[in-house]
Amino acid sequence: MPVRYISFLALLTGFLLSAQVQAEPDGARIYATHCAACHGTNGAADPANPALAGFDALPANFADALFNSREPEADWRLVVEHGGPAIGLSAQMPAFGGVLSQAEIDAVVRHAKSLADTRDYPPGEFNYPLAIRTKKAFPEDEVVWKLRVTGQDGDDSVRNVLELEKRFGKRWQGIVEIAHKSEGGHDVIDEAELGFKYVLGWDMEKQYMISAGLITAFPIHDRSESDVLIPMLMGARALSDDFLAQGSARLKLPFDQASDGEAEFAGVVHWMRSEFPRGVFPGLEVVASVPFDNNGTDRVKWSVLPQARFGLTRGGHVALNLGAEIPLSDQSWDVRGYLYLLWDFADGSFFKGW
């Protein structure tokens, strides 16, 4: 082969190799240069590091598997590009948008993500918006106040629910709920619910997560009513980068007579219009309630719920969900309005980042 060709081939190979290197920046090297001084070589910041004296927050600990896993990569890319204040964090976390390219930001965030062994922890990418009726698959730390107003006179026109969801270990979540309603002009504590959720599995490539749970509802106001056992299955799946789908199936089984129970199927799709969590994210939900005793008037009841999540804080850890439920079957009410106020307390105090 003539020398000309050999040197041409060598040039070409060199060019392809350098393109390859350019396409995949070295996340570990970028981390060592730009992040380690504050975040520590292994991802855990050293509180004794004099460089951090006077900081109002300790740099995030990437080596903590629970913390590392529950933060979606996209949120970290946002912080690294735009700086801490972009999502309500300290200004001492600098913005690297002008310093690093998008590919370098992707690489350094992937490296930060690799600093803890998170294999057994449900990934935060599946922490989808809370819907009105569909139950979530992701085990979150959350307090939610739910207000439901029904367009009807008298009993049960206003219902308040306070819900506490607390994560335990890698995959578990405990659930406590207290429901209050107005009845005959009086305010009563209607019922309490106690239960748990467990993440069965997920697949990052196919973009889905599946969880199961069990809740017991105890009537408090009317003791003649039966306790109800509620087994449930929840799923979350990304349809694309911008559209997230969730579904849940619940059985409501009264202890006294399980045949008086019903099954409830709910599904919702949210449109994630923006990468910034403070924004408005519309969703559309459909619910079908199927009574077991399917004779007479007890037919399947359908309803549809247009709704929107309003991220209130810059990090979206305090948010509102506003929506309406429109009956499509012969429900006894015309329309229901819902207001949910939620606070993801793992992301910090209620008052942080407004």
Chain positions contacting ligand HEC, by CB under 6 A: 34-35, 37-39, 55, 57, 59-60, 71, 75-76, 79-80, 84, 89-90, 92-94, 96, 108-109, 112
78 or 268, CB closer to ligand HEC? 78
Q: Of 108 and 215, which CB lies nearer to ligand HEC in the complex structure?
A: 108
Least distance (Å) between residue 91 CB and ligand HEC: 8
Task: Report d(CA 220, CA 188) in Å as an integer.
Answer: 9
Give me the residues paired with residue 188 across strands: 181
CB 335 within 8 A of CB 327: yes
CB 49 within 8 A of CB 41: no
Smallest distance, ligand HEC to C-beta of residue 309, A: 19
Angstrom distances, CA of residue 202 to CA of 205, 235, 242, 248: 9, 9, 19, 15
- Cα 137 to Cα 66: distance, rounded to the nearest angstrom: 17
For ligand HEC, the closer of residues 55 and 208 by Cβ is 55
231, β-bridge pairs: 214
Q: Which of 140, 108, 91, 118 is nearest to 33 (CA)?
A: 108
CA distance 230 to 237: 23
Nearer to ligand HEC, 161 or 312 (CB): 312
Structure tokens belonging to residue 146: 């739910």
| Three-class SS state of 307 | strand
- Residue 33 CB, shortest distance to ligand HEC, in Å, is 8
Q: How far is the CB of 96 from ligand HEC (least distance, A)?
A: 5
Helix intervals (H) in 208-295: none
Residue recorded with tokens 């910090």? 348
Q: Check if the beta carbon of residue 135 is closer than 8 Å to that of residue 317.
A: no
Smallest separation, CB 46 to ligand HEC (Å) = 12
CB of 109 or CB of 217, closer to ligand HEC: 109
Query: Least separation, in Å, of the C-beta of 344 and ligand HEC?
Result: 12
Greatest distance between any 2 Cα atoms in the chain: 99
Q: How far is the CB of 276 from ligand HEC (least distance, A)?
A: 14
- Residue 114 or 226: which CB sits closer to ligand HEC? 114
DSSP 172-183: EEEEEEEEEEEE
Mapped onto helix, strand or coil, the DSSP state of residue 248 is strand
37 or 188: whose CB is closer to ligand HEC?
Answer: 37
Residue closer to ligand HEC, measured from CB, 89 or 245: 89
Exposed / middle / buried, residue 72 (Cβ in 10 Å: 0-12, 13-18, 19+): middle
Report in angstroms how near the CB of residue 122 gets to ligand HEC at its nearest. 17
Say which DSSP state 37 is in.
H
